[in-house]
């Protein structure tokens, strides 16, 4: 499972697996715990390759070492939050900004180079925990999420709409109860991500 700080969530480095919070304290850890509890006989090994601050460019730079060289059966990708965020918190640093066309081109390149080697892939959208869809950052995040959906449909991968999952929770909860900065979730937010992921790949929790 590869991505940015939401995936990283304090995992061990260089290898994000093993005991004592090695998988981090976020959705990857929750997915692993639930999978081991629901289907221990399948002996599913989960490795966390999230890295704080990453954009799709960073994933491309480390893709061989952190994905291909591990020869995984499945790959889950959630990336895009920093690609969008830098457009709002660092708008004058053009070198940090990954615009939609570049984001989509790199993501598609990674899918094309990896999918033939796998049993399957899961694409998770980036998200912004903000119910006002007219908010500029929320609007932009939805655009990047639509790119993820389009690529998932084009290549027949599993697709996790994390934004929709948070939107459902936001009908009852204030954004600040899920993430102080509307990006980095508390445990409840990470469980929302884990639940959405497991539902998508067929581990029913209802």
- pLDDT tens-digit series, residues 121-141: 999 999 999 999 999 999 999
* pTM (predicted TM-score): 0.94
Residue 6, H or E segment: helix 5-8
CA distance 198 to 117: 22
What proportion of the chain, given as a percentage, has pLDDT over 90?
Answer: 91
| Residues marked as catalytic | 5, 181, 184
Task: Supply the pLDDT for residue 154.
Answer: 97
- Phi, psi angle pair for 78, to nearest 5°: -130, 110
What confidence tens digit (pLDDT) does each residue in 167-192 have? 999 999 999 999 999 999 999 999 99
DSSP state of 48: B
Task: Supply the pLDDT for residue 14.
Answer: 85
Task: Supply the pLDDT for residue 204.
Answer: 66
Mean pLDDT throughout 84-103? 94
DSSP state of 10: T
Q: Give 204's strand partners.
A: none
Task: Supply the pLDDT for residue 95.
Answer: 92
- pLDDT of 206 over the 80 cut: no
Band (pLDDT 50/70/90 cuts) for residue 64 is very high
Residue 98, H or E segment: none
* Domains defined for the chain, CATH in brackets: 51-201 (3.40.50.1110)
- Phi, psi angle pair for 3, to nearest 5°: 170, -150
Q: Give 155's strand partners.
A: none
Mean pLDDT in the chain? 95
Task: Supply the pLDDT for residue 203.
Answer: 81
| Spatial contact of 31 and 1, defined as CB atoms under 8 Å apart | yes
Task: Supply the pLDDT for residue 205.
Answer: 66
CA distance 126 to 192: 13
């Amino acid at each position: 499972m590869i991505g940015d700080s939401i995936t990283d969530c304090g995992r061990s480095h260089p290898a994000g697996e093993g005991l004592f919070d090695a998988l981090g304290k976020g959705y990857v850890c929750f997915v692993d715990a639930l999978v081991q509890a629901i289907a221990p006989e399948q002996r599913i090994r989960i490795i966390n390759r999230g890295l704080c601050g990453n954009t799709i460019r960073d994933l491309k730079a480390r893709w061989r070492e952190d994905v291909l060289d591990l020869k995984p059966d499945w790959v889950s990708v959630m990336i895009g939050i920093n690609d969008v965020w830098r457009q709002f918190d660092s708008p004058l640093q053009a070198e940090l900004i990954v615009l939609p066309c570049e984001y989509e081109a790199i993501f598609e390149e990674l899918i094309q180079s990896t999918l033939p080697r796998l049993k399957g892939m899961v694409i998770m959208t980036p998200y912004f925990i903000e119910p006002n869809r007219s908010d500029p950052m929320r609007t932009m995040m939805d655009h990047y999420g639509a790119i993820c959906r389009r690529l998932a449909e084009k290549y027949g991968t599993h697709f996790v709409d994390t934004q929709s999952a948070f939107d459902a929770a936001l009908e009852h909860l204030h954004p600040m109860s899920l993430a102080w900065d509307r990006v980095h979730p508390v445990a409840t937010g990470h469980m929302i991500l884990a639940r959405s992921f497991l539902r998508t790949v067929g581990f029913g929790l209802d």
